[in-house]
Amino acid sequence: MAIKGAIPVRFEDVFPHGAYAVNVTPVLDFERSKGGAQVQARDRVTNDPVWAVEVYDADSEVRHQDRSVKVKIAAAQQPVLPDAMPGLPFRPIEFERMTVRPYVTDKGRLAYSYSARGVKTPGGKPAPAAASAKGQG
């Protein structure tokens, strides 16, 4: 039996030591971004713009090249990262309703594409959506 689509996973299983957010950027639709125009990718199901949250895995035993990952979020507004903690260069973050899609890279390496439905402060409430995604479309 084949598994179709994304596989639901818990945040705690993907990032058992936590994760730290760096930034949020629009995901570009490379097929539609031609001639200098940058077109933001849209989710196939919701048609919402797709955003990438760059995070660092807090597990000290993760290989250096695997420490930074991007988690995609389809949302009408740019996701707002949790507030930074004093003295830390990154923002502790948790993702809600995560999924993973395993795939094989062109170099034959197993890789994972992560998605989530939202972000929140660790142990806290969901982060509010941005008031405006101005200039992000």
Q: What is the mean pLDDT of each run of 10 residues along the chain (137 residues)?
A: 85 95 94 85 95 93 86 96 84 96 93 94 69 37
Residue 35 falls inside a structural domain: yes
pLDDT of residue 123: 81
Buried b (16+ CB within 10 A) or exposed e, 31-55: eeeeeeeeebbeeeeeeebbbbbeb
Residue 128 included in any domain: no
Pair of tokens at residue 70: 């991007």
Write down the pLDDT at residue 127: 63
Whether 1 is covered by a domain: the verdict is: no
Q: Does residue 13 fall inside a structural domain?
A: no
Count: domains in the chain: 1
The two tokens of residue 32 are 């539609």
Cα angle 102-108-109, degrees, rounded to a multiple of 5: 50
Q: Is residue 116 part of a domain?
A: yes
C-alpha 77/C-alpha 48 separation (Å) is: 8
**Sheet with strand 19-26: strands edge to edge:** 7-9, 98-104, 110-116, 68-74, 50-57, 19-26, 91-96, 118-120
pLDDT of the residue at 87 = 84
Residue 8 lies in a domain: no
Tell me, yes or no, whether 127 lies in a domain.
no
Q: Is residue 136 part of a domain?
A: no
Host domain of residue 25: 18-120
